[in-house]
Amino acid sequence: MNEAPSPSGETRDGPLLDVQGLVTEFEVSQGLFARPARLRAVNHVDLTLEPGETLGIVGESGCGKSTLGRSIMRLIEPTEGRILWQGRSLTELTDEQMRLARRDMQIIFQDPIASLDPRMTVGQIIAEPLTVFEKGLSRAERTARVVETMDAVGLAPEMINRFPHEFSGGQAQRIGIARAIVTRPRLVVCDEPVSALDVSIQAQIVTLLKRLQEEFNLAYLFISHDLSIVRLISDRILVLYLGQVVEIGDEDAVFDNPAHPYTQALLAAAPIPDPVIARQRQSHPLIGDPPSPLDPPPGCVFSSRCPHVHDACRKAQPDLRTAPTGQKAACVLVDETSVPKLPEGQ
């Protein structure tokens, strides 16, 4: 196991991040006189993250990806579970302790323009975390760090006094990345960081993130619905459906030999840029619409759309089981010797 220093300076055994049984619920109004319902957006999620590793989190819109990332940082307060950061429980920290702990945990947001204050210059935006977490820096030292970080993300130093509206979407996201890494954190939550960008710019940003990861030994939670982007950057993959982990494992195993029917359907539905291959591929659309998280199906959360569903699937949510290629999937048909496959033309 890796050893990582805790915020107090101690050395602890274990992963950088260890999430255990995380649950996040919201109250949803049912009408003027009705009792509010409880919507479970994240449902008993377990995950670990090692220093310098990228865990890709994928799933359809509304599956709980962003809520999971923000719950881990306690930007949204989780309802249950433990979040161990370098062996220290984040859920037991006071608000002030949590604020200081975020020096090592930063986030990149989906909308690069909306995430930047239009009244602040680029230099002020990037320097803001330093004014919070490194108050001992002089103005000259702070400016030097900002310029160094701008150079690291591909922004010219002469841009330091410009405002966000003067930049393209890709440049604005570089500003957001600079703001996230200026404190030299250990973890960055990348919440759909390229989904609002053109395809060519997406590739540039992903390449930048990979270079920064190597340079600063960053760990990423990379949240996206774009499977091709996730595969390009991730070491391991976590697949969410209705707030639950249905598959988790090494990137090669999950993409080349998906074990859960939901993962198989996601990969089969992903667009292929080669038109010849795309025409030859069998279509595997998902059956029906995702159920409401306010009224999930009994048993397996995927049972209402699964081509392999049978009576056992409707009785209880399956535990994660080890597939032949090493990843774990929450499907009763998965064991160490066999994996269900979608029927042809399904």
Asked which of 128-137, 275-284, 319-328 is least confident by mean pLDDT, the reply is 275-284
**What's the confidence (pLDDT) of residue 276?**
55
DSSP alpha helices (H): ranges in 1-102? 65-72, 95-101
**What's the confidence (pLDDT) of residue 221?**
98
pLDDT single digits (tens) 276-291 = 555 555 656 677 788 8
Angstrom CA distances, 128 to 18, 68, 105, stand at: 28, 25, 15
Considering the chain, what is the average pLDDT of its residues?
Answer: 88
How sure is the predictor about 83, in pLDDT bands with cuts at 50, 70 and 90? Answer: very high
Angstrom CA distances, 209 to 143, 188, 232, 286, stand at: 23, 10, 11, 32
Tokens 């994928």 locate to 58
Average pLDDT for residues 45-60, to the nearest whole number? 96
pLDDT single digits (tens) 211-221 = 999 999 999 99
**What's the confidence (pLDDT) of residue 292?**
87
* C-alpha distance across the termini of the chain, in Å: 43
Q: Domains of the chain, with CATH numbers?
A: 3-234 (3.40.50.300), 260-346 (no CATH)
